[in-house]
Amino acid sequence: MMDLSNKNLQCKLWFLLDLMLQSRVSKSPIILSGFWRSGTTWVQQVVAESICAKTQFEPFEPNALCPLHGGAGFDPIQGAYIPLTWDVFSEKDFRFLDLVFKGISPKRSSFNYFARRSWQECLSDRVVVKFVRAQFILPALMQRYKTQGVVHISRHPMAVIQSLMNAKWEWDFANIDLSDLYWRENELSICPLWEELKVYKNASKEEKIAALWALSEREVRQSENIVFVKYEELLKEPDVGFSNVLKMLGLQVKKRVDYSKDSPVTASNRVGASLEERLNSWRTNMPRDSQIKVRAVLRSLWPEVDKEWELG
């Protein structure tokens, strides 16, 4: 296994290669959207490998040194932040994103290069950006970067919420005040989404997750020219599912991919999980009272949720 110092050196070298070869990224980028724990990393890995593209991970993760977070290091309060509107971005944020969509990791190392298999990926002429914080700004991103397409991955909300309840991250929804988190949006004269979220200021952890999930899914469904894919359908029939995704994007498979590989961010206790576990473990693992609270939030903020998912 590569030690940390060698890994850091490798990441810096790959950053320099990305920077020098940015003009090679001549084809339109692809965005993969979806809530946390919805299989976005797995889907990005498969799509990028299938079409021989390079990957970019989470431009707005809290330790990405992006202007939106003040250019500072990790801040656990920002962990759950998904910008509600394009209006909160500065010119520095735009320049930061411009690098990302040219295949350059502005932070130069760490997770943005985590799934790179070799330096040859730096030579790719297309980039696939995984962006779990983009749901509310997808139309603006599509327009600015003339994307080849946007794929939004949806997973059963109960499965998403149960997975997030168990996540061992540096930040936790339980410690986040949604109304304070969205102070930027609150400073704007009109932001109806913030008004809906602040209702859950003192809600339980699962209710806060459910509120953000419901609003993000609701808003994405109102956007045009997006390919909607259910994680469960890809799991059940990956050959058919991924073939259809690429077809809808107007792309062709350049390389056969092993769909069964766990993604680089699969939790250690979920490595090698069976299809049944991935689909239905929430039914036995999520407490009944939590299920009741989550269903109430989902139906309040996105009444159409029952048309998409059987909530139990």
**Contact predicate 110/64, CB 8 Å:** no
Q: What pLDDT shows up at residue 164?
A: 94
- From the list 38, 83, 30, 33, the residue with the least C-alpha distance to 228 is 33
CA pair distance 289, 189, nearest whole angstrom:
37
Q: Which residue has the tokens 């801040």?
A: 75
3-state helix, strand, coil in the chain (%, to 5): 55, 10, 40
Using the 8-state DSSP alphabet, how is residue 111 labeled? G
Residue 116's CB: how many other CB atoms inside 10 A? Answer: 19
d(CA 309, CA 219): 17
Q: What is the pLDDT of residue 1?
A: 46
Identify the structural domains of the chain with CATH numbers, from first to last: 7-308 (3.40.50.300)
Beta strands in 167-217, from DSSP E residues, in sequence order: none
CA 253 to chain CA centroid, Å, is: 23
8 A C-beta contact, residue 47 and residue 33 = no
Instruction: Quickly tell me which residue has 């932040």 as its tokens.
Output: 81
Phi, psi of 151 (to 5 degrees): -110, 125
- Write out the chain's pLDDT in tens, 312 residues: 456 567 778 778 888 889 999 999 999 999 999 999 999 999 999 999 999 999 998 888 877 778 888 766 677 788 899 999 999 999 999 999 999 999 988 764 456 776 677 788 889 999 999 999 999 999 999 999 999 999 999 999 999 999 999 888 888 999 998 888 898 898 887 789 999 999 998 899 999 999 999 999 999 999 999 999 999 999 999 999 999 999 999 999 999 888 877 766 666 556 667 888 888 889 999 999 999 999 999 999 999 999 999 998
**Sign of the alpha-carbon torsion through 135, 262, 250, 122:** positive
Q: Are 232 and 43 in contact (CB under 8 A)?
A: no
Which of 173, 205, 188, 72 minimizes the C-alpha distance to 136? 188
Q: What is the CA radius of gyration of the chain?
A: 19
Three-state DSSP at 207 gives helix
Distances (CA, A) of 241 to 173, 179, 233: 32, 38, 7
